[in-house]
Amino acid sequence: MKYISTRGSAPALNFEDVLLTGLASDGGLYVPETLPVFSQAEIADMASMNYVELAERIVAPFVDDCIAQDDLRTILQATYAEFRHDAVAPLTQVAHNQWVLELFHGPTLAFKDFALQLLGRLLDYVLERKHRKVAIMGATSGDTGSAAIEGCRHCDNIDIFILHPYQRVSDVQRRQMTTVVGDNIHNLAVQGNFDDCQAMVKASFNDKAFLPEGRSLVAVNSINWARIMAQIVYYFYAAVALGAPGRPSVFSVPTGNFGDIFAGYLAAQMGLPVERLIIATNRNDVLHRVMTTSTYGRQALSHTLSPSMDITVSSNFERLLFDLYDRDGATIAQMMQRFETGDVSFSDSAMARARRLFSSQCVSDEQTCAQIASTWENCEYLLDPHSAIGLKAAFDSGLSARYPVITLATAHPAKFPDAIQQAGLSQAVELPLHLRDLFQREERYEVLPNELGAVQAFMAANLNA
Ligand SMILES: *Cc1c(COP(=O)(O)O)cnc(C)c1O
């Protein structure tokens, strides 16, 4: 399988190389040149598969001959053995024809574990064969760094450096990162804010000379193709459990960078009967504005009760645009260049295509808390704020009269106690068993000044892999 760039001029890559590459050299994102398509009979057969078996079925064509089938199976088994629920991605019913797909049973209690647990292992496998070692660098405002760290804890060929703003992340968030044990894990508390951290990561990717020769820097942010690939699996898993291919389903997806819902779009392209994909956003509603006004435009960032969806641009949306414009890379390149300096409007035909499968809704903090409270009242089920946004949009769509509607529950409520408190339900939150001793565990992190030189010097001196 070959991967091509959405901007049309970077070289095509195989799976192995795409794994190690973030942005394409032309600034675009990599997508598969063609997609595997499953017949209705093949999808019906998936009903008998457990999560790992299904993952192998879905992932194998994307990985192609870069990873031997037996090795792929071993990697997938190890990945999903880290999840603390036998079904890996269980469905819970919360109302008539309304289902919640629980994606928070991984080590850090958020859906990002599905992709990052796999990505770490895939990278390590490929690096081992190439006799290479890399450093991963990333910045976090607190809510997503732990998934990347947990994903790398067993990797022999990777050092991971995650920058967070010193004293500006919550205790639970910091401890989820700093109590992970491993010589290759490096938590850097930078005496600045999140934007400072992000700027340092960006500067380091632009000039990697601070690392010793032969060490490259790899990004594991949400544009990495392997992350999207891993997320396709649970769309099939849930839909088949609720009657696919005989019965089409609707998915409501709490959306930020458009990675998760793009995986749902790919599932539909691969033959899964999907009636509708609902883009559920918080007040940072760039995608809802695209869907309702056909215009892609930046607005100032708002801080909400669902911080993992606080974004101003939605990086993976470019992958959908590429298809909406008949995979014309030159057009996408021009459009994204114009977007650097101003708004971009999309053609009627592109938007008509998008609206055939996608709809959208923007949900306020007040509505989020109201949804958390009403779901608790109706069935004693506690939602996290991101999942609540999805469920609110699922109810408002009215589609459950005709289809099973599946909301992706992207995080465990214990991760976001502020929202639960505002919904008046503090007494209902409990950390899952394996995290109850989080506050007794030893922490390891380095406090560094808000200076690029200090951060880079620390990294160069602490490569342990
Ligand atoms: C990252 C994240 C999202 C948004 O997913 P995208 O792929 O960026 O759209 C939603 N909820 C939670 C809890 C997340 O961590």
Q: How far is the CA of 213 from the centre of ligand 1 (A)?
A: 35
Run means of pLDDT, 10 residues per run, the chain, 465 residues: 97 95 92 98 98 98 95 98 97 98 96 96 96 95 91 96 94 93 96 94 92 90 93 98 98 97 98 98 98 96 94 95 98 96 97 98 98 97 97 98 98 92 90 88 97 97 93
Which residues participate in catalysis according to the annotation?
112
In a domain? residue 380:
yes
Residue entry with tokens 């193709």? 225
Q: Residue 170: its pLDDT value, please?
A: 86
Counting from 1 in the atom list of ligand 1, the atom nearest the Cα of 255 is: 9
Counting from 1 in the atom list of ligand 1, the atom nearest the Cα of 257 is: 8
In a domain? residue 268:
yes
Q: How many domains does the chain have?
A: 1
Q: Residue 204: its pLDDT value, please?
A: 95
Ligand 1 shell residues, CB under 6 Å: 110, 112, 144, 222, 254-260, 308-309, 386, 410-411
State the pTM of this model. 0.96
Total residue count of the chain as it appears in this document:
465
3-state SS, residue 127: helix
Q: How far is the CA of 72 from the centre of ligand 1 (A)?
A: 26
- Cβ atoms of residues 193 and 165 within 8 Å: yes
Which amino acid is located at 132 in the chain? R
Q: How far is the CA of 256 from the centre of ligand 1 (A)?
A: 6
Q: How far is the CA of 259 from the centre of ligand 1 (A)?
A: 8
Q: How far apart are CA 210 and CA 287, in angstroms?
A: 37
Q: Residue 465: its pLDDT value, please?
A: 87
Q: Which of 29, 42, 21 is nearest to 270 (CA)?
A: 42
Q: Which of 264, 253, 276 is nearest to 363 (CA)?
A: 253
Q: Which of 261, 262, 301 is nearest to 283 (CA)?
A: 301
In a domain? residue 271:
yes
Q: Residue 376: its pLDDT value, please?
A: 97
Counting from 1 in the atom list of ligand 1, the atom nearest the Cα of 411 is: 13
In a domain? residue 417:
yes
Q: Residue 426: its pLDDT value, please?
A: 87
| Whole-number Cα distances in Å, 407 to 142, 183, 264 | 24, 38, 12
| Whole-number Cα distances in Å, 364 to 83, 251, 303, 316 | 31, 20, 11, 23
Whether the upstream peptide bond of residue 245 has omega within 30° of 0, thus cis, is yes
Q: How far is the CA of 84 from the centre of ligand 1 (A)?
A: 20
Q: Residue 5: its pLDDT value, please?
A: 98
In a domain? residue 197:
no
Measured by CA distance, the residue closest to atom 8 of ligand 1 is 257
In a domain? residue 116:
no
Q: How far is the CA of 316 from the centre of ligand 1 (A)?
A: 12
Substitution candidate for ligand 1 out of 111, 252, 358 with most atoms within 8 A of CB: 111
In a domain? residue 73:
no
Q: Residue 309: its pLDDT value, please?
A: 95
| Whole-number Cα distances in Å, 183 to 138, 154, 174, 366, 465 | 17, 10, 18, 43, 8
Measured by CA distance, the residue closest to atom 14 of ligand 1 is 308
Q: Pull the structure tokens for residue 338.
A: 């114009």
CATH of the domain at 296: 3.40.50.1100
Counting from 1 in the atom list of ligand 1, the atom nearest the Cα of 143 is: 15
Substitution candidate for ligand 1 out of 108, 260, 265, 317 with most atoms within 8 A of CB: 260
Q: Residue 330: its pLDDT value, please?
A: 98
Substitution candidate for ligand 1 out of 104, 309, 312 with most atoms within 8 A of CB: 309
The whole domain housing 364 covers 87-109+225-422
Counting from 1 in the atom list of ligand 1, the atom nearest the Cα of 311 is: 8
- Cβ atoms of residues 249 and 273 within 8 Å: yes
In a domain? residue 464:
no
| Whole-number Cα distances in Å, 322 to 95, 256, 357, 368 | 37, 19, 16, 32
